[in-house]
């Protein structure tokens, strides 16, 4: 088991070439062997996703892009939904045990998440068509004794205690239940199951999943003596050291009903200068030379590169049309100070507005503040604007007379978050 840093190695397979050139590879159990497999035939690889929320977020995107490249270079991607493992909960990076979700919640989350994959991968029955599976299908059938005898024998407590997910919890003196302790075994059996069902030889994931992935690789090798590889991506951090995945007041969701295409576009538009090249390579499919050229634009010109990044990334998720609308709306709002229909909009009852609604209420309803107190503080801090005029009193009433000629009220929290209020 080695952990090469993937810089010296020159892959022959198109798949690994792309991954390496574009910066997707952090660690791999055996790059050379995997490269050989990928150049000799169709490789089946999978990534597992939790069903703890009803939408994936930007942190998942890097692995989705890898699956996309996998498919584009002639291989078969599997998206594994953690219908079974979600019931246990991955202890990685968590201090406290998560509340257990009900079957209904998990099923509904899963259905909602699945729509995202369809945008990046093509599913079907052809050799390189993507496959979607749910690990509840096999995990729930396992009997306890059978599970212990078939899989439990291959794991030592000594080894499990050395994994970061476990070690961290213990070091921080947080409880780790036996239930959660079993998560890594369950994830390992996923790999074995996929190896048997689909001849899957590769599991990919974020670097925090390295320990879990290794377990699966070893299990497949020990039990079935089949080839199994693991590959992880670097943890996404912005150049200034922040976790990528939060921006403009919350998680960056991939489902449009959680985060509008406009806001999604904004997330990319607000990329730090130093990250532009990296993000272009990871989250767009532009040729490398173009990524490098854009990232090298001097001074304020780099903003053009950010727009391209935003266009391309948004197109992949929401389509070209939505991306262009987002760009046009942003262009009007930021560069010409003009309103656009495509800005996020909150519809309110015309009669209620006629009677007058406190700004603070609208700010909360529009999702620009978490509570009325929060909204009031925003106003007091000078961050709240109505139709471009600062409003410092959260109690101020807005009514029909505040409508612009376009028939809306423009509500802005800070310089970047804008919501239109529209009476209906």
Encoded tokens for 352: 């209620």
Is residue 172 involved in binding RNA (CB under 7 A)? yes
Q: Which stretch binds RNA (CB under 7 A): 27-35, 106-114, 173-181, 210-218?
A: 173-181
Candidates 256, 414, 422, 423: give the one binding RNA (CB under 7 A).
414
- Of residues 77-106, which lie at the interface with RNA (CB under 7 A)? 95-96
* Alpha-carbon span 125 to 122, nearest angstrom: 10
Contacts of 152 (CB under 8 A, 6+ apart): 185
Neighbours of 367 (CB within 10 A): 15
Judged by CB under 7 A, does residue 164 bind RNA?
Answer: no
Hey, which bits of 166-294 come out as E strands? 202-206, 229-233
Of residues 270, 388, 392, 404, which one binds RNA by CB under 7 A? 270
- How far is it, in rounded angstroms, from Cα 148 to Cα 234? 33
Q: How many CB atoms lie within 10 A of CB 145?
A: 9
Nearer to RNA, 184 or 391 (CB): 391
CB 284, min distance to RNA, A: 17
CA distance between the termini of the chain: 63
Number of residues this chain uses to bind RNA (CB under 7 A): 47
Task: Report in angstroms how near the CB of residue 244 gets to RNA at its nearest.
Answer: 10
- Please report whether residue 299 would count as binding RNA according to CB under 7 A: yes
Cβ atoms of 309 and 276 closer than 8 Å: yes
> Do 41 and 9 contact (CB within 8 A), yes or no?
no
When the beta carbons of 107 and 328 are compared against RNA, the nearer one is 328
- The residue from 300, 351, 401, 405 that contacts RNA (CB under 7 A) is 300
Nearest Cα residue to 360 out of 324, 316, 392, 320? 392
Under a CB-based contact definition with an 8 Å cutoff, are residues 44 and 126 in contact?
no
* Smaller CB separation from RNA, 170 or 338: 170
* Virtual torsion, Cα 234, 238, 241, 245, nearest 10 deg: -80
Q: Does 381 bind RNA (CB under 7 A)?
A: yes
Q: What is the CA radius of gyration of the chain?
A: 24
Q: Is 5 in the site for RNA (CB under 7 A)?
A: no
Query: Per rule CB under 7 A, is residue 370 in the interface with RNA?
Result: yes
Interface with RNA, residue 371, by CB under 7 A: yes
Contact status: 157 vs RNA (CB under 7 A): no
* Shortest distance (Å) from residue 98 CB to RNA: 12
Q: String of b and e for 40-59 (b: at least 16 CB within 10 Å)? A: eeebbbbbbbbbbbbbbbbb
- Our finding on whether 336 is near RNA (CB under 7 A) is no
**Residue in 164, 324, 365, 374 binding RNA, rule: CB under 7 A:** 374
Please report how close the Cβ of residue 200 comes to RNA at its closest, in angstroms.
35
State how far Cα 2 lies from the chain centre.
28
Residue 377 is a binding residue for RNA (CB under 7 A): yes
Residue 344, both tokens: 């996020």
Q: Is 356 in the site for RNA (CB under 7 A)?
A: no
Q: Could you say whether residue 391 binds RNA (CB under 7 A)?
A: no
User: Which of residues 107, 132, 248, 256 is near RNA by CB under 7 A?
Assistant: 248
Binding flag, residue 313, RNA (CB under 7 A): no
DSSP assigned state of 251: B
* Sign for the pseudo-dihedral over CA of 295, 298, 299, 304: negative
Between 132 and 328, whose beta carbon lies closer to RNA?
328
Least distance (Å) from RNA to the CB of residue 108?
Answer: 22
- Closer to RNA by CB, 102 or 239: give it: 239
Q: For binding to RNA (CB under 7 A), which residues are involved?
A: 95-96, 170, 172-175, 240, 242, 246-249, 266, 269-273, 299-300, 302-303, 306, 330-331, 333-335, 358, 364, 370-374, 377-378, 381-383, 395, 413-417
């Amino acid at each position: 088991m080695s952990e090469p840093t993937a810089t010296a190695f020159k892959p022959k397979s198109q798949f690994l070439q792309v991954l390496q050139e574009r910066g997707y590879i952090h660690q791999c159990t055996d790059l050379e062997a995997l490269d050989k497999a990928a150049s000799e035939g169709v490789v089946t690889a999978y990534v597992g996703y939790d069903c703890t929320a009803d939408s994936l977020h930007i942190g998942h995107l890097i692995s989705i892009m890898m699956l996309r490249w996998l498919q584009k270079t002639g291989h078969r991607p599997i998206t594994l939904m953690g219908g079974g493992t979600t019931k246990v909960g991955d202890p990685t990076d968590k201090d406290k045990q998560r509340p257990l979700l009900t079957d209904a919640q998990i099923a509904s989350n899963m259905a909602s998440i699945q729509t995202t994959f369809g945008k990046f991968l093509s599913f079907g029955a052809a050799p390189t068509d993507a496959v979607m599976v749910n690990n509840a299908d096999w995990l729930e059938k396992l009997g306890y004794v059978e599970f212990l005898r078939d899989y439990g024998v291959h794991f030592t407590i000594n080894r499990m205690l050395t994994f970061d997910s476990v070690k961290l919890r213990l070091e921080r003196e947080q409880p780790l239940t036996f239930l959660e302790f079993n998560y890594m075994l369950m994830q390992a059996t996923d790999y074995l199951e996929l190896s048997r069902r689909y001849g899957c030889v590769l599991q990919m994931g974020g670097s925090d999943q390295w320990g879990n992935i290794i377990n699966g690789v070893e299990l497949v090798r020990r039990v079935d003596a089949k080839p199994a590889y693991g590959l992880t991506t670097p943890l996404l951090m912005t150049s200034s050291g922040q976790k990528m995945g939060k921006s403009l007041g919350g998680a960056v969701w991939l489902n449009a009903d959680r985060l509008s295409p406009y806001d999604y576009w904004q997330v990319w538009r607000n990329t730090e200068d130093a990250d532009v090249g990296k993000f272009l390579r990871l989250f767009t499919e532009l040729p490398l030379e173009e990524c490098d050229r854009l990232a090298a634009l001097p001074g304020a010109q780099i903003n053009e590169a950010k727009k391209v990044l935003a266009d391309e990334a948004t197109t992949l998720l929401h389509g070209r049309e939505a991306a262009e609308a987002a760009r046009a709306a942003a262009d009007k709002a930021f560069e010409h100070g003009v309103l656009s229909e495509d800005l996020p909009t909150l519809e309110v009852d015309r009669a209620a507005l006629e009677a007058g609604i406190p700004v603070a209420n609208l700010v909360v309803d529009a999702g620009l503040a978490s509570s009325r107190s929060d909204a009031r503080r925003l106003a007091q801090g000078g961050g709240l604007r109505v139709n471009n005029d600062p409003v410092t009193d959260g109690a101020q009433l807005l009514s029909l007379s505040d409508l612009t000629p376009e028939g809306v009220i423009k509500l802005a929290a800070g310089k970047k978050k804008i919501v239109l209020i529209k009476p209906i």
